[in-house]
């Protein structure tokens, strides 16, 4: 949908921006239509049914089920069309495609720190290639920020202690505004930057011109060594005291409380900062907390290192041991082992 000729919408430069605009125009159109219809009918009735004689008594009016059904069902259908259309765009927008390039974003008062998976860092600028899917993995070092690119029609809160994501595919080379859209203190209004969309070849040149930095995964590996994680979490479980981490990312993990959890960014962060919160089945709660010892950026590095760990031997690497929590409680073998836990 071509909308750039209407001055009150920002430039349209991503694959979803046209869809968001179409829905927005539909909402505005429906609103304008009913505003005009209702005020028009109101004025018409005021004139038509005005009192003409001083002692005029109006005819009694009986209700009409037919009319009431019509004016309930039609608005209901219109409301549901807004819901269905909006939900469809929402789901598309909130589910990053699997093959997207990942870029890490850390918000802090008052700047955006960005790191590409190949290691390049930038501040208040985000360089991306046109026509490629980009997934942003975002967190904050202090308060709540919000990463907003109007031309792409994407916007998401950036929270301390959590990872939020959003994705886009830019459709036009150019430079676009980047805003913080959540009041975050004195210089909130200055927490701005630009998104620079480049042709893929220009982008590759830009990347290679800035290639001197370490990738987050490599930095994470060094942290993994220096913080001593490796002594318990050997790459293939050889540490023995902690679950193996190879191939873990994205998998379901069985916990001692018989629940399962998906090993995503939030789970790994929690397991580093608050290791007792979710204990993997078959392991003891012996890991110390690393809260305060790793910065949000270092957490991202460790997470991207863990993501990069591939399973070397698919047979042996179903990582955390899989118990049989459902069948176990009724078997005699388990009842004998139960007293140990009490
Ligand atoms: Cu960051 Cu407002």
What percentage of the chain reaches a pLDDT higher than 90?
41
- CA of 184 relative to ligand 1 center, distance in Å: 4
pLDDT score of 332 more than 60: no
Report how far ligand 1's centroid is from the alpha carbon of 183 (Å).
5
Looking at domain 216-340, its CATH superfamily turns out to be: Cytochrome c-like domain (1.10.760.10)
**Distance between CA atoms of residues 2 and 12, nearest Å:** 8
pLDDT in tens, 44-54: 999 998 888 88
- Using one digit for the tens of pLDDT, what is the confidence trace for 258-274? 888 888 888 888 888 88
For residue 106, what are its two tokens? Answer: 């850390």
What is the position in ligand 1's atom list of the atom closest to the CA of 144?
1
The answer to whether domain 101-209 has CATH 2.60.40.420 is yes
- Residue range 51-59: average pLDDT? 84
28 Cα–ligand 1 center, Å:
29
Give pLDDT tens digits for 144-192: 999 999 999 999 999 998 899 999 999 999 999 999 999 999 999 999 9
Of 236 and 77, the one with more pLDDT? 77
As for ligand 1, residues whose beta carbon falls within 6 Å of it are: 107, 110, 145, 180, 182-184, 188, 191
Domain ranges of the chain: 101-209, 216-340
**Whose C-alpha lies nearest to ligand 1, atom 1?**
145
Checking if the pLDDT of 341 tops 50, the result is no
Ligand 1 atom closest to 189 (CA): 2
Could you report the per-residue pLDDT of 215-256, keeping only the tens digit for each? Answer: 788 888 888 888 878 777 875 555 667 887 888 888 888 888
Long-range contacts at 265-274 (CB < 8 A, ≥ 24 apart): 265/137, 265/163, 265/303, 266/162, 266/163, 268/302, 268/303, 268/306, 269/161, 269/162, 269/163, 269/299, 269/303, 272/299, 272/302, 273/161, 273/299
Q: With helix as H, strand as E and coil as C, how does 122-157 read?
A: EECEEEEECCCEEEEEEEECCCCEEEEEHHHCEEEE
Q: Looking at the CA of residue 158, tell me the nearest atom of ligand 1.
A: 1
> Going by C-beta distance under 8 Å and a sequence separation of 6 or more, which residues neighbour residue 190?
110
- 3 Cα: distance to centroid of ligand 1 (angstroms): 29
**CA distances for 232 relative to 237, 244, 287, angstroms:** 8, 9, 9
Distance 161 CA to ligand 1 centre (A): 16
Span between the terminal Cα atoms of the chain, in Å? 65
Segment (H or E) for 305 = helix 296-308
- Does the pLDDT value for residue 2 go beyond 70? no
């Amino acid at each position: 949908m071509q909308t750039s000729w209407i001055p009150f919408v920002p430039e349209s430069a991503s694959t979803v921006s046209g869809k968001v605009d179409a829905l927005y125009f539909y909402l505005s159109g429906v609103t304008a239509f009913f505003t005009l219809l209702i005020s028009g009918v109101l004025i018409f009735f005021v004139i038509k049914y005005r009192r003409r004689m001083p002692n005029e008594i109006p005819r009694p009016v009986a209700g009409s089920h037919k009319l009431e059904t019509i004016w309930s069902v039609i608005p209901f259908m219109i409301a549901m069309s807004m819901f269905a259309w909006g939900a469809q765009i929402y789901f598309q927008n909130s589910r990053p495609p699997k093959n997207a390039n990942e870029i890490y974003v850390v918000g802090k008062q008052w700047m955006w720190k960005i790191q590409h998976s190949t290691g390049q860092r930038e501040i208040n600028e985000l360089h991306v290639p046109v026509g490629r899917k980009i997934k942003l993995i975002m967190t904050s070092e202090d308060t709540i920020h919000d990463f907003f690119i109007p031309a792409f029609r994407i916007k998401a809160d950036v929270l301390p202690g959590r990872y939020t994501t959003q994705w886009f595919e830019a459709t036009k080379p150019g430079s676009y505004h980047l805003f913080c859209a959540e009041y975050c203190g004195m210089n909130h209004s200055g927490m701005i930057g630009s998104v620079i969309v480049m042709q893929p070849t220009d982008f590759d040149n830009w990347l290679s011109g800035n290639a001197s930095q370490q990738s987050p995964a490599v930095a994470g590996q060094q942290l993994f060594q220096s913080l001593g994680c490796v002594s318990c979490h050997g790459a293939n479980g050889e540490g023995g005291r902690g679950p193996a981490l190879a191939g873990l990312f994205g998998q379901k993990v069985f916990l001692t409380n018989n629940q399962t959890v998906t090993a995503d960014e939030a789970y790994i962060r929690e397991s580093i900062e608050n290791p007792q919160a979710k204990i993997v089945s078959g392991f003891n709660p012996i890991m110390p907390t690393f809260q305060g010892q790793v910065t949000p950026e270092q957490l991202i590095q460790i997470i991207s290192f863990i993501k990069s760990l591939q399973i070397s031997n698919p047979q042996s690497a179903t990582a955390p041991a899989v118990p049989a929590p459902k069948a176990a409680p009724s078997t005699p073998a388990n009842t004998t082992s139960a007293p140990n836990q009490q």
